[in-house]
Amino acid sequence: MSYTLYGRPWSGSLTVEFMLEELGIPYQRSLVTGYRDAIQPPSFAEINPLREVPVLVDDDGLVMTESAAILLLLAQRRAENLLPPAGSALQGEHLRWMFYLAAAVYPTSMKIFHPDNSTDEPAHEASILARGTKVLNHQWGVVCAAIDGRCHMVGDSMTVVDFYLMMFAYWFAEMDGIEDSPLIRPFRERHLESDSARRVLARHISGDWV
């Protein structure tokens, strides 16, 4: 099975790439540019009516949106060792952090990256940004306190949530107004300096993404 990943530099496609590359899963990248009504190519709106990336499409035509769901499906298909045993306490923790990142941290970070999505009044954007920064510092502080200098979010080995966390750890390392914590640094150093992560990051940094 091979895949097409729709994405763009610095976007949520980052986390899916981290996992695809580390697992050696064949895929091709398809660049999406512009936002909302100006999305390019316009046909992307038929693939994801929300016009958001990442989107992963498989050879059978299955369209997956929602970054957390994409990562969990890939693990189920290709690397069950990245999923804690069903019904275990570890799985509970794993699900908790997957949902927390998807439902709390990701949407708040989008308020900061795209405050214009939350208002039709340009004059309101500064206050959305300010509030988003405050909330994100709180939410990110909770993650940093939980990882507490360890290299894995749950348990003692790599799980899916670590691939998800790599993206946020990367985004927030140098983000204006976001307080970086020494408690997340060992995680960042361990995972963002692997060969596969470096390959992914090089594309995002250069902007030569396809």
Ligand X SMILES: N[C@@H](CCC(=O)N[C@@H](CS)C(=O)NCC(=O)O)C(=O)O
Least Å from the CB of residue 140 to ligand X: 16
Residues 59-78: x where in contact with ligand X by CB under 6 A, - otherwise, as a string: -------xx-----------
**Tokens 């949520």 correspond to what residue?**
12
Least Å from the CB of residue 148 to ligand X: 25
Is there binding between residue 110 and ligand X (CB under 6 A)?
yes
In the list 102, 158, 178, 192, the residue contacting ligand X (rule: CB under 6 A) is 102
* CB closer to ligand X, 116 vs 190: 116
In the list 3, 6, 11, 144, the residue contacting ligand X (rule: CB under 6 A) is 11
Give dist(CA 208, CA 210) in Å, integer.
6
Are the CB atoms for 94 and 161 separated by under 8 Å? yes
In the list 1, 33, 34, 36, the residue contacting ligand X (rule: CB under 6 A) is 36
**DSSP bridge partners of 63:** 57
Least Å from the CB of residue 51 to ligand X: 6
Is there binding between residue 29 and ligand X (CB under 6 A)?
no
Instruction: Dump the DSSP string for 21-67.
Output: HHHT--EEEEE-BS-GGG-BSTTHHHH-TT--S-EEEETT--EE-SH
Is there binding between residue 106 and ligand X (CB under 6 A)?
yes
Q: Give the distance between the most distant pair of CA atoms in the chain.
A: 49
Strand pairing of 55-58 and 3-7?
Answer: antiparallel
Among 28, 152, 179, 50, smallest CA distance to 93 is for: 152
Binding site for ligand X (CB under 6 A): 11-12, 35-36, 51-54, 66-67, 102, 106, 110, 114, 117
